[in-house]
Amino acid sequence: MTFNAVGQKIPKKDAPLKVTGQALYIDDLELPGMLYGKILFSKYPHARILNIDTSKAERLPGVKAVVTAKDFPPNFRIGFMKDNPPLKGNKVLSTRDEIAAVCAISPEIAEEACELIDVDYEVLPGVFDPITAMREDAPILHEELGSNVLKLPWKLVCGDVEKGKSESKYIVEDTFTTQWVTHCCMATSGCIAHFDINNNLTLYSNTQIPSLAQNDFLEALNALGLKNRRVRIIQVTIGGAFGSKLDTYPYEYIAILLALKTRKPVKIVFSRDEEFFATSPRQCTITKISQGCTKEGKLTFREVEMILDNGAYTSWGATTPSVMMMPISSLYRVPNVKYEAKCVYTNNTYCQAMRGYGNPQATFAIESSLDHLAEVSGIDPYDLRMINANQPGEITPQGFKITTCGLKECLEEVAKRLNWREKRGKGGGKRGVGMASLIHVGGGARVYKSDGCGTIIKMDDFGKVDVFTGATDIGQGADTVIAQIVAEELGIPVEDVNVIHNDTDVCPWDVGVHASRTTFVAGNSALYAARKIKARLTEIVSKILEIPQEDVEIRNGIAFSKSDPQKSIPVARAIRRAHFTTGGSMLMAEHFYDPNNENLGKDFKGNLSTAYTYGTHGVEVEVDTETGKVKILKYVAAHDIGRAINPLLLEGQIEGGALMGIGFALSERLIYQNGYLKNGNFLDYKILTVRDAVPVETVIIETDEKEGPYGAKGIGEPGLVPSAPAIANAIYDAIGVRIKDLPITPEKILKALKEKAGTGNKA
Amino acid sequence: MKKEIKFHLNGEEVVAEVEPHWTLLYFLRNVMKLKGTKEGCGYGECGACTVVVDKRAVNACLYPILEVDGKKVITIEGLSKPDGQLHFIQKSFIEEGAVQCGFCTPGMIMSAYALYEEKENPDEEDIKEAIEGNLCRCTGYIKIVQAIKSAKRRQQ
Ligand code: FES
Ligand code: FES
- Residue B101 has its nearest CB partner, among A21, A475, A660, at A475
Look at domain A452-593 and name its CATH class: alpha beta
Closest atom of ligand 2 to B101 CA is 2
Q: What is the chain B residue with the closest CA to A688?
A: B135
Q: B137–A185: do the CB atoms touch at under 8 Å?
A: yes
What SS3 class is residue A534? helix
- What CATH code is assigned to A285-391+403-446+600-757? 3.30.365.10
Question: Is domain A31-124+189-269 annotated with CATH 2.40.280.10?
Answer: no
Q: Which of B31, B47, B78 is the last residue of a domain?
A: B78
Answer yes or no: do B71 and B122 share one domain: no
- Residue B142 has its nearest CB partner, among A30, A476, A695, at A695
CATH number at residue B142: 1.10.150.120
Torsion of CA A409, A411, A417, A419, to 10 degrees: -130
Chain segment A669-701, per-residue pLDDT in tens: 999 999 999 999 999 999 999 999 999 999 999
The single-letter DSSP state of residue A518 is I
pLDDT at A257: 98
The single-letter DSSP state of residue A321 is H
Q: What is the mean pLDDT of residues A220-245?
A: 97
Contacts of A651 in chain B (CB under 8 A): 97, 143
Q: Are B94 and A19 in contact (CB under 8 A)?
A: yes
| Burial of A104 (C-beta count, 10 Å sphere; 0-12/13-18/19+) | buried
What SS3 class is residue A87? coil
pLDDT band at B155 (very low <50, low <70, confident <90, very high): confident
Alpha helix stretches (DSSP H) within A337-395: 359-377, 381-388
Answer yes or no: do B145 and B107 share one domain: yes
Q: Are A650 and A726 in contact (CB under 8 A)?
A: no
**Side-chain half-sphere CA neighbours of A7 within 13 A:** 11
Q: Which of B52, B78, B104 is the last residue of a domain?
A: B78
**DSSP for A614-662?**
EEEEEEEEEE-TTT--EEEEEEEEEEE-S--S-HHHHHHHHHHHHHHHH
Q: What is the mean pLDDT of residues A160-166?
A: 98
Answer yes or no: do B65 and B93 share one domain: no
| Residue B83 domain-assigned (yes or no) | no
Q: What is the CA radius of gyration of chain B?
A: 15
Element (H, E) at A394: none
What SS3 class is residue A303? strand
Contacts of A658 in chain B (CB under 8 A): 140
Query: Diameter of chain B by CA atoms?
Result: 49
Answer yes or no: do B18 and B68 share one domain: yes
Q: Are A95 and A277 in contact (CB under 8 A)?
A: yes
Q: What is the chain B residue with the closest CA to A474?
A: B101
pLDDT band at A763 (very low <50, low <70, confident <90, very high): very low
Number of domains in chain B: 2
What SS3 class is residue A503? strand
Q: Are strands A170-178 and A558-561 parallel, antiparallel or unpaired?
A: unpaired
pLDDT at A1: 67
| Structural domain that includes position B26 | 3-78
Indicate if the pLDDT at residue A564 is higher than 50: yes
Kindly report the length of chain B: 156
Say whether the peptide bond before residue A743 is cis (omega within 30 degrees of 0). Answer: yes
pLDDT band at A758 (very low <50, low <70, confident <90, very high): confident
Chain segment A5-41, per-residue pLDDT in tens: 999 999 999 999 999 999 999 999 999 999 999 999 9
In chain A, count H helices and then E strands: 19, 28
The interface predicted TM-score of the complex, written ipTM, equals 0.98
Gap between the Cα atoms of A279 and A94, Å rounded: 12
pLDDT at B82: 86
Name the residue ranges covered by the structural domains of chain A.
31-124+189-269, 285-391+403-446+600-757, 452-593
Minimal CA separation from B63 to chain A, in Å: 18
Chain segment A409-466, per-residue pLDDT in tens: 999 999 999 999 999 999 999 999 999 999 999 999 999 999 999 999 999 999 999 9
Indicate if the pLDDT at residue A760 is higher than 70: no
Indicate if the pLDDT at residue A532 is higher than 70: yes
pLDDT band at A761 (very low <50, low <70, confident <90, very high): low
Q: What is the mean pLDDT of residues B137-150?
A: 98
Chain segment B73-130, per-residue pLDDT in tens: 999 999 999 898 999 999 999 999 999 999 999 999 999 999 999 999 999 999 999 9
Q: Which of B53, B78, B103 is the last residue of a domain?
A: B78
CB A595 near ligand 2, within 6 Å: no
pLDDT at A473: 96
- Residue B135 has its nearest CB partner, among A186, A477, A694, at A186
| Residue B56 domain-assigned (yes or no) | yes
Chain segment A299-316, per-residue pLDDT in tens: 999 999 999 999 999 999
Angle formed by the axes of helices A359-377 and A723-735, nearest 10°: 30
Gap between the Cα atoms of A385 and A411, Å rounded: 8
CATH number at residue B11: 3.10.20.30
Supply φ then ψ for residue A111, to 5 degrees.
-65, -45
Gap between the Cα atoms of A701 and A684, Å rounded: 38
Contacts of A238 in chain B (CB under 8 A): 101
Amino acid at A168: S
